[in-house]
Structure 1
Amino acid sequence: MTSTTASRLPFRDINVHASPSYYAFSSPSSPSAPALVVERPSGDLRLDHDGKATRGGGLSGVRRVSSIAGILGVVRLRLDRYVIVITKAQPMGRLKGHMVYKVAATELLPLRERPLHDPDEDGYLALLRALLRQAPLYFSYSADLTNSFQRQAAADLSQPLWRRADDRFFWNRFVASDLIDFRDGSSGSGSGGGSMAFRHALGPQPDVDPYILPVMFGMMRIAPTAIKGTPLTFVLITRRSRHRAGTRYLSRGIDERGHVSNFNETEMVVILNDDAQGGLGGFAPGQFQNGKLGGGAGGADGRETQVLSYVQTRGSVPLYWAEVNTLHYTPALQIRGVETAATAARLHFAEQIRLYGDNYLVNLVNQKGRERRVKEAYEQLVRELVSTPAEHTEPDSAGITAEKFHTVEPRGARGARGRGGAGGDEPIAFDRLHYIYFDFHSETKGLRWHRALLLMDQLRDAVASGGYFRGVDMPGGRSSSGRAAAGGEETRLDVRARQRYVVRTNCMDCLDRTNVVQSMLARVVLTRMLHDAGCLRAGEAADDDAAFESLFRNVWADNADVVSRAYSGTGALKTDFTRTGKRTRAGALRDLTNSVTRYVLNNFGDGPRQDAFDLFLGAHVPDDEAAGAAAPPAGLFVDTRPVAIQAVPYVLLASVFFVLVGSLTRRPPDATVWPLRLLMLVFLVVGAICAHFMWTHGTLYVNWPKLNPPPWVQENYLEALSRVRSTPLLGPLVIKHERGRSEARMSYLEEGKKRIE
């Protein structure tokens, strides 16, 4: 590997030298590179060029040396800063010759030699550790996983890997901000929202580049396989955006900056003549002419590596809307006016058009019931954005639904589909939005899943004209500049075709229905790819090869599960259809289990998960002033609800327990039973009252996030609390509790004020 390459790619091996006064990070394979030193406990950063920190000079103390796979960043919590390091990485396979790893284990290194224990600090640490333990994080030392192959083809390879990363999918961007600010020679906000002092000469510090490792959150599957005897590597990558990341019912819609919830970019890649397969090839080399593989110059062995890539996106409906948990299975739906979201939606789609070209907005929500409001609001939004909307409604001929398809497009757009392209010189125009509604549930009702293919007819023109990305490595491993690759160095693909559009699919959650449709569209495009590459003959399809079809289905089902777990907490529904092509009883039973589990997690488990996302991604920055004298006595993670409200579930459980014990306990024949029955009746009535109270005021019993509770959560919580105050039984107790808390808080503040004076 050349020295230029080594300076811009992350270190593959890092040793940590720990002492009471510092942490020093160095690469044993690059002894001439300076060590990165983090002073303890201040967190000051500096570069050690003379090796004093790693060879025993200058800084005293007993040193402990351990090996890590990389540095995620530095995070500041309430009382201390922590260096987050990757202690174990699992190899996942080679992507065009570059090894890809999954984060298997992490560790938080405290900067204080003797960490201070505090309930809030321990709560923060528990949130971070739970997220890092469960999050599917992937990285590569030599390949950019955050960008699609089409965007990589336009990247500046002279830039370090972290600078080329797509900001949307650079998941550790916030915690790496201290390292990035230090590298750029700036005193930016840092990972804690406050400035970190840097001991270094003013100006950029390019020697820090190898210590900054961009990490992607999502799904990665690399599968060497073959189709019809042609060896290839099949890859599926899903990248989850770090903007507006969260959990199912706590993160919906769009924010003021144009970021939508649960936004994922999924890229399907086929690599032909991949070096990872030992140089095996399946067809003659050549140029890509008129959509077919033609003759042309090849390498010495007559083969060239080709990359065929197709990108789809999914994301929440770009409106201001929410679903408020109330312990009912179906949450309360709230939608603000479409006009209020138009500005944010313009920001969102302007970015989407700039990145991907024409956007085909496939909406799969129901046209009846509670979801109908979301459908109608989405259509109204598209009418606002498109200059001259033309609508077309197609009913179902079988009488299943009066609105099988509903399209909203710019007038005259049908003949111009797919024109333009991502990254082109054309100005951004919202007339490049094409809205397609498909009544998925009604059309596939009764296990008629084949009817979902009707949607492909609506997208046929877009698929035909919008194309997919195709890049070819120059013979001998050379890039387009003619420079040979050296030992893991990146090479640029020669671009032969570009994808000029994207299909953006959504349902209510952008999970189950969305993944079914995305996998069907991917199969259609894959067949076209393989025809163009000469792997399939006329009339053949990708699903004709049973072994490859099984792999394809299972990879897409795995993708559904990963995206769903990150958002809803369980695997996806309907994956039995994705895996086998048909609905099964076992799949329906598994869906029922997942649905019940989702209900429990979404009501009682998603609050801490949302807090963990907000903490790691910087949506919440711990305030160290909370440790001052004016801090309230209750901790951040302490339950502040009135004691009477907290006691209701325990009374309910005690009542149920007593009724069960009284019903199942064996009694002597001559025992008097009426006192026991009377007591059981009393507990039964008490339990029923408690259950009714919880069901009526369910908002008070949902485990809401504590770091960044959404405004609508606070509004609904306060509304439920005000209703409880008016109840004759618990109202006086709640009012007394709140009065006591208020007086205690005021007295505590007065004491703090006196101490400060």
Structure 2
Amino acid sequence: MALPFRDINVQIAPDCYIFKSPSTPDAPALTIDRPTGEVRLSDAALLSGKRITRTTSVRGILGVIQLRLDKYVVVITKDAHVGRLKGHMIHRILEVEFLSVHERGLRDPDEDRFLALLRSFLKAGPMYFSYTLDLTNSFQRQAAQQDQAAASGSALAPLWMRADDRFFWNRFVQSDFIDFRHRGARGLPGAQPGIDPYILPVIYGMLEIHPTTFRGRPLTLALITRRARFRAGTRFFSRGIDEEGHVANYNETEQIVVLNDTGRSNMGSFSAGTGSAAGSTLKTQPQEDTQILSYVQTRGSVPVYWSEINNLKYTPRLVVRGDNRGLEAALPAATAHFTEQVRIYGDNYLVNLVNQKGRERLVKEAYENMVQTSKRAASSSKSGMERIHYIYFDFHSETKGMRLDRAKLLLDQMHDALIAQQYFSAVTSASSSDRLESRNLQSSVVRTNCMDCLDRTNVVQSMLARWTLERMFSDLGLMSRGGTLLDQDPVFEELFRNLWADNADRVALGYAGTGAMKTDMTRLGKRTKAGALRDGQIAVTRYCLNNFMDGPRQDAFDLFLGAYAPNSTSSMTSGAYYVFADRRPVLIQAVPYVLAFSLFLLLVGLFTRRLPDSAVLPLRLFLLVWAVIAAYSFHFILRSGELYVNWPKLVPRPASVEDYHEAMAKARKDKLLGAFVTRHERGLSTARYLSAEEGKKRIE
């Protein structure tokens, strides 16, 4: 079994980058040719004669990405230790560095913008990795992989090959290495297993590990949320389902309890200095088997074709294709989604939390129609749709008046299903600390959603996690049947609440740009006025971010995950050059500045002290004129809100493009400004930019 190298030195030579592990001198060195970017494996001894200009140590290779004019090797230069899980050290990425293959002297504005997007994305994105533990798979799937390998008499595959493709977040930027692994290169065709230790899988999401005690019994409580890389993006630019059956904001959350976690993993013990008091206590019982219990839940957007179009109004325009034509178009995608969920998790209990009144009603009805249509269409085949169970719970209606206790009605509604669902449990013996011996399996999963799959979803998921955790402790004999965490151990109860509230904030931050709402219900167990005020602040912040900041964030997702390829044929067409230029007519761009200038003059006129003998009429006329200009500018911006949203530039959303063109058509018909709105695009013309680009290439 090939595990990733934990220590890699990078030697930078004029004609290549050389990566090798100083702790494994016999392993082949990985070289990346400059300027072609070709990947090769070489004998480290044969490279000793290279002229090395710089040598540095990195924590791992995140991948290789091709932008418009250059290719870059992305290396992890700084990480933080999150903790140990079953003896394996977990790391979080803090800093990365981009190693240019060409080191071109000329600067290109789009290339610089691409790099800025990637740097900000990798700096803000919570990404985790382990050299020895597969973070992409739940413990139950890991146990199944071990059983399959044992049954076939073969060793486990390399860590990256075992990774769940949905949560292998850097899968796209590892494409060069993976292609070389399967096919080799010129002069060296065929499989190249020597590159396996250089491929490091990374997850995106939330991961916390807490060594603690429950009623004096040492244990480790961990929570892992894995965000899927398919249809990833920001709140209003990534909704619903795509043609392949991938839904937006899909996350798998695994709650883990480890008993007798001695940390005996030989590989996991490489990193030192992160021990804890609880861990020291556990080492006093080295002969006891380590017990692992886990419970998995999922969340994901409603699997129909729907979207919300930003238009500067607080409530965006909702578009739901819930009619017969829309359902028919989305049916193959939804069926593929449900079939995959059943294959991976077994029975799926679809808990829908959207409102049954108001604008959300359209989404609720579309979801119900899709589930019913999918079941009818699959009734004659064995697609597994009979294992889909739809459950509706109007969260806002049931808990209005700060009545959180009424949310437990959902637990009563699902009681029998939760009993039958079970949870995963396994043991690892002292003789084989990495071998999971399954004792119990989780047979189904609860898939929860609201509109955003954030705030309401997390409250319900934490309730289900608490119910299951109390069941685990009861089965283990750590607490009596019918007891609660609060009654048995208030300190552990507080840890549990904060852990799930942190999860809510982390998932919401990646999707909506802010922390989660309703976290007072998770942290405190009740709705509070302070929590309501905080939710109001978050709502205002989300409004600003989702309208004016999420376009570049979505571009960063699309760029890193491969939804947009800067060097592809389609992106090199004339219309794609200078992709970040603002192509709106200059007059349209100027209206917000006119509004700001008008408000400034109004404030000056209202609050500047007048001379005693000054005339009042001119000042009133002055204020009236600028008040009219400000009012008209404000009205124009609101009426043409789609023109002032910061849209994604790389992969435009079809529905938003239609609304943008409609808003532009209205602006051209405006009685005052319409005649002055020009139709040309601002910036270099296509011909001029093509000529400039060709000149750059000749110089390089």
Q: Using structure 2 for the length normalisation, give the TM-score.
A: 0.92
Query: Which residue of 72, 76, 89 maps to 2:66?
Result: 76
CA drift at 1:746 = 6.7
Partner of 2:631: 688
Structure 1 partner of 2:560: 616
Cα contact 1:359–1:434 (8 A) shared by 2 = yes
Counterpart residue identity of residue 554, structure 1: N
| Structure 1 position 669, deviation (Å) | 1.0
Distance 1:445 1:744 in 2: 57
CA RMSD of superposed structures (Å): 2.5
Letter in 2 for 1:34: P
In structure 2, the residue matched to 1:142 is 132
Q: What is the deviation of 1:723? A: 1.3
Q: CA deviation at 1:753?
A: 11
Q: What corresponds to 2:23 in structure 1? A: 29
Per the alignment, do residues 37 and 281 of structure 1 end up closer, same or farther by CA in structure 2, a change over 3 Å counting? Answer: closer
Q: Return the alpha-carbon distance in structure 1 between the equivalents of residues 408 and 72 of structure 2.
A: 51
Tell whether the 8 Å contact from 2:90 to 2:130 is kept in structure 1 after alignment. yes
Measured after TM superposition, the shift of residue 372 of structure 1 is 0.4
From 319, 334, 352, the equivalent of 1:363 is 352
Q: 721-730 vs 23-32, which deviates more?
A: 721-730
Matches within 5 A, 1:139-538: 139-155=129-145, 156=149, 158-185=156-183, 198-276=185-263, 277-278=278-279, 280=281, 303-336=288-321, 337-387=326-376, 428-474=383-429, 476-478=430-432, 491-538=434-481
Map residues 593-742 of structure 1 onto 2, 5 A cutoff. 593-623=537-567, 631=574, 635-734=578-677, 736-738=678-680
How far apart, in 2, do the equivalents of 1:114 and 1:281 lie?
A: 55
Report deviation, 1:728.
Answer: 2.4
Q: Is the 8 A contact 2:262 2:282 kept in 1?
A: no
1:553 matched to 2:508: no
Residue 429 of structure 1: CA displacement? 1.6
Alpha-carbon distance between aligned partners in 2 of 1:36 and 1:612, rounded to the nearest angstrom: 28
Q: CA deviation at 1:676?
A: 2.4
SS in 2 for 1:359: strand
Matches of 1:316 and 1:334, distance apart in 2: 14
Give the 3 Å change call, closer, same or farther, for CA 63–200 of structure 1 in structure 2: farther
Label 1:540 to 1:632 Cα distance change in 2 as closer, same or farther (>3 A): closer
SS of the aligned residue for 1:15 comes to: strand
Per-residue deviation, 1:281: 5.8
Number of the residue aligned with 1:404: none
Structure 1 residues 646 and 169 mapped into 2: Cα distance closer, same or farther (>3 Å)?
A: same
CA contact (8 A) 1:77 1:622 kept: yes
2 CA distance for matches of 1:634 and 1:664?
Answer: 48
| 1:212-259 deviation per Cα after TM superposition (whole angstroms, max 9, x unaligned) | 000000000100111111111001000000000000000000000000
Name the CA distance, whole Å, in 1 between partners of 2:646 and 2:676. Answer: 22
Q: Distance in 2 between matches of 1:494 and 1:343?
A: 38
2:121 to 101, 113, 131: 131
Tell me the distance in 2 between the aligned counterparts of 1:210 and 1:519. 37
Aligned residues: 669
Do the aligned partners of residues 388 and 347 (structure 1) sit closer, same or farther apart at CA in structure 2, a change above 3 Å counting? closer
- What whole-Å deviation, never above 9, does each CA across 1:89-136 have from its counterpart, x for those lacking one? 100000100000000111111112345310100110011001000000
Who is 1:40 aligned against?
34
SS at match of 1:159: coil
- Which AA in structure 1 matches 2:290? T
In structure 1, C-alpha distance between the alignment counterparts of 2:175 and 2:563, rounded to whole Å: 14
Q: Which residue of 2 aligns with 1:400?
A: none
Aligned to 2:267: none
Deviation for aligned residue 1:158: 2.0
What SS does the aligned partner of 2:189 have?
coil
Q: Mean Cα displacement is larger for which, 12-21 or 366-375? A: 12-21
Partners of 2:15 and 2:560 lie apart in 1 by: 26
Give the Cα separation in 1 of the matches to 2:16 and 2:539: 49
Give the Cα separation in 2 of the matches to 1:242 and 1:547.
36
Whether contact under 8 Å (1:230, 1:281) holds in the other structure is: no
Residues 10 and 56 in structure 2, CA contact (< 8 A), matched pair in contact too: yes
The amino acid across from 2:136 in the alignment is T
Amino acid at match of 1:733: F
Residue 245 of structure 1 contacts residue 251 of structure 1 at CA under 8 Å; is this kept in 2?
Answer: yes
* Cα distance in structure 2, aligned partners of 1:477 and 1:577: 44
Q: Kindly indicate whether the alpha-carbon contact (under 8 Å) linking 1:530 and 1:542 is maintained by their aligned counterparts in 2.
A: no
Deviations 1:637-688 (A, max 9, x none): 1100011110100000000011011111112111223222211211110010
> Matches of 2:286 and 2:16 in 1, distance apart?
53
Residues 633 and 748 in structure 1, CA contact (< 8 A), matched pair in contact too:
no
Contact 2:69 2:567 in 1 (8 A): no
**2 CA distance for matches of 1:278 and 1:665?**
67
Match of 1:95 among 72, 85, 100: 85
1:106 aligned to which of 68, 80, 96: 96
| Residues 717-750 of structure 1: per-residue CA shift (max 9 Å, x gap) | 111111112122222222x333x77995478779
Q: Quote the sequence identity (%).
A: 57
Partners of 1:703 and 1:754 lie apart in 2 by: 32
1:133-183 CA deviation, whole Å, 9 max, x = no partner?
A: 000000000000000000000124521000000000000000000011111
Structure 2 distance, partners of 1:81, 1:50, is 24
Distance 1:27 1:720, change over 3 A: same
Q: Is the 8 A contact 2:583 2:683 kept in 1?
A: no
- Residue 136 of structure 2 aligns to a residue whose secondary structure is coil
State the match for 1:18 in structure 2. Answer: 12
Q: Secondary structure at the match of 2:68?
A: coil
Distance 1:670 1:612, change over 3 A: same
Please tell me whether the aligned partners of residues 204 and 226 of structure 2 are also in contact (alpha carbons under 8 angstroms): yes
Deviates more, 1:269-278 or 1:601-610: 269-278
Larger mean CA deviation between 29-38 and 700-709 belongs to 29-38
d(CA) in 2 for partners of 1:163 and 1:729? 62
Distance, in Å, in 1 between the alignment partners of 2:424 and 2:690 is 63
Tell me if structure 2 keeps the 8 A contact 1:225–1:232: yes
1:620-639 deviation digits (Å, cap 9, x = unpaired): 000366998x8469611110
Gap regions ≥5 residues in structure 2: 150-154, 264-277
Asked if 1 retains the 8 angstrom alpha-carbon contact of 2:565 and 2:571, the reply is no
